[in-house]
């Protein structure tokens, strides 16, 4: 599918780029440090097949937390709503994505929602398969289908870098093991989770996945229903309430579309029934969202009335 560079989008990217200087590339995963903080690119995929872009849209990024919404969809397809929400809640936390403090809030204990790390780890533990490799392959193949079918893989380097330093995620897992939310080997689960987070793609792929969510789970080109409509509705709701971590409220007011960010600087945006958006801008604000990516989305939302509210 061709994607055309747009002058108007280029102008907005240049304007938003000014904000990259106020952000910082994530460094708690050592391999992410290498990104250029000044990068900013965007692709917008329309349901009629048109795609417009600006910046270096071919550049690959790892999904990081954006993968959480994709594994949520797959876990719901694998296990059903009842079982998934026995293990994770529905509520936003208002805390950073890796926070541990509210894990004891529910009785019996469970993570508040599937978009924080604890919830996402619990969700990944529900992905079916005969081995870690088989489960990873199921996630990878599912993501690849959503992205339109071209070959996707994960970055071994980023996965290993996170695996070696994931002390907090290990702590979250052991806490959840104590409470029977996770019932598998923690090192194996972390291997699967860090590889899932390290799945690589470019902004075009990300926009293409966003489009499938925008079209309620249907691939607008093949007309195949890739995710059941009800499951897409659940995912989009979590994107609105928890997709931007503890900035989800302000994001809903200022931009107002379902979206999911990751610490690699990616943002996947979903404009219902219209288009999917993929953004990459690795300089992050203090909450871990792409600082220039947010500005860019804000300008787009304002100029083209994208808010769903």
User: Residue ranges for the binding site for substrate?
Assistant: 65, 117, 162, 169, 193, 245, 263
* By the rule CB under 6 A, 262 interacts with ligand GLN: yes
Distance CA 30, CA 284 (A): 15
Backbone dihedral region for residue 211 (phi beyond 0: left; psi -120 to 50: alpha; all else: beta) = alpha
Which residue in 17, 68, 195, 260 is the catalytic one? 68
| Residue number of the CB atom closest to ligand GLN | 65
Bond prior to 108 in cis (omega within 30° of 0): yes
Interacting residue with ligand GLN among 25, 73, 75, 162 (CB under 6 A)? 162
Active site residue 158: no
Which residue in 245, 260, 264, 290 is the catalytic one? 245
* By the rule CB under 6 A, 93 interacts with ligand GLN: no
Cβ of residue 285: shortest distance to ligand GLN, in angstroms? 12
Cβ of residue 262: shortest distance to ligand GLN, in angstroms? 4
Within its chain, how far is the Cα of 80 from the centroid? 21
Pick the closest to residue 103 from 165, 170, 179, 163 (CA basis). Answer: 179
Cβ of residue 156: shortest distance to ligand GLN, in angstroms? 15
Q: Which residues contact 287 (CB under 8 A, 6 or more apart)?
A: 96, 244, 245, 246, 247
Residue 289 gets which letter from DSSP? S
Active site residue 68: yes
Distance CA 52, CA 62 (A): 21
* By the rule CB under 6 A, 65 interacts with ligand GLN: yes
Distance CA 298, CA 301 (A): 5
Active site residue 263: yes
Distance CA 243, CA 239 (A): 4
* By the rule CB under 6 A, 197 interacts with ligand GLN: yes
Interacting residue with ligand GLN among 98, 99, 124, 202 (CB under 6 A)? 98
Active site residue 84: no
Q: Which is nearer to ligand GLN, 115 or 146 (CB)?
A: 115
Q: Which is nearer to ligand GLN, 158 or 257 (CB)?
A: 158
Interacting residue with ligand GLN among 152, 263, 296, 300 (CB under 6 A)? 263
* By the rule CB under 6 A, 248 interacts with ligand GLN: no
Cβ of residue 296: shortest distance to ligand GLN, in angstroms? 19
Question: In the structure encoding, which two tokens stand for residue 232, read together?
Answer: 């897409």
* By the rule CB under 6 A, 20 interacts with ligand GLN: no
Distance CA 75, CA 125 (A): 9
**What distances in angstroms separate CA 158 from CA 27, 62, 180, one per listed residue?**
12, 8, 29
* By the rule CB under 6 A, 246 interacts with ligand GLN: no
Cβ of residue 168: shortest distance to ligand GLN, in angstroms? 7
Distance CA 145, CA 134 (A): 16
As annotated, the active-site residues are: 65, 68, 193, 245, 263
Binding site for ligand GLN (CB under 6 A): 64-65, 97-98, 117, 162, 169, 197, 262-263, 288
């Amino acid at each position: 599918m061709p994607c055309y560079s747009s002058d108007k989008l280029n102008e907005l990217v240049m304007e938003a780029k000014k904000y990259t200087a106020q952000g910082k590339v994530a460094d708690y995963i050592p391999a992410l440090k290498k990104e250029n903080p000044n990068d900013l690119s965007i692709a917008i995929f329309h349901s009629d097949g048109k795609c417009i872009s600006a910046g270096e849209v071919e550049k690959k990024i790892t999904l990081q937390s954006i993968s959480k919404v994709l594994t949520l969809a797959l876990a719901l397809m694998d296990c059903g709503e009842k079982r998934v929400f026995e293990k994770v809640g529905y509520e936003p936390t208002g805390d950073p994505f890796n926070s541990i403090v509210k894990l004891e809030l529910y009785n019996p204990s469970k993570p508040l929602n599937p978009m924080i790390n604890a919830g996402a780890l619990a969700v990944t533990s529900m992905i079916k398969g005969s081995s870690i490799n088989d489960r990873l392959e199921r996630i990878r193949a599912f993501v690849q289908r959503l992205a339109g079918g071209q070959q996707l893989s994960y970055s071994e380097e980023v996965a290993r870098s996170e695996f070696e330093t994931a002390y907090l995620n290990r702590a979250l897992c052991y806490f959840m093991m104590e409470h029977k939310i996770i019932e598998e080997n923690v090192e194996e689960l972390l291997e699967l989770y860090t590889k899932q987070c390290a799945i690589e793609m470019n902004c075009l792929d990300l926009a293409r996945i966003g489009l499938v969510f925008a079209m309620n789970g249907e691939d607008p080109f093949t007309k195949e229903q890739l995710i059941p409509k009800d499951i897409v509705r659940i995912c989009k709701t979590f994107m609105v309430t928890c997709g931007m971590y503890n900035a989800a409220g302000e994001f809903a007011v200022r931009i107002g579309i379902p979206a999911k960010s990751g610490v690699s600087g990616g943002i996947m945006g979903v404009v219902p029934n219209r288009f999917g958006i993929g953004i990459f801008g690795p300089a992050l604000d203090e909450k871990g969202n792409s600082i220039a990516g947010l500005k860019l989305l804000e300008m787009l939302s304002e100029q083209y009335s994208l808010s769903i509210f």
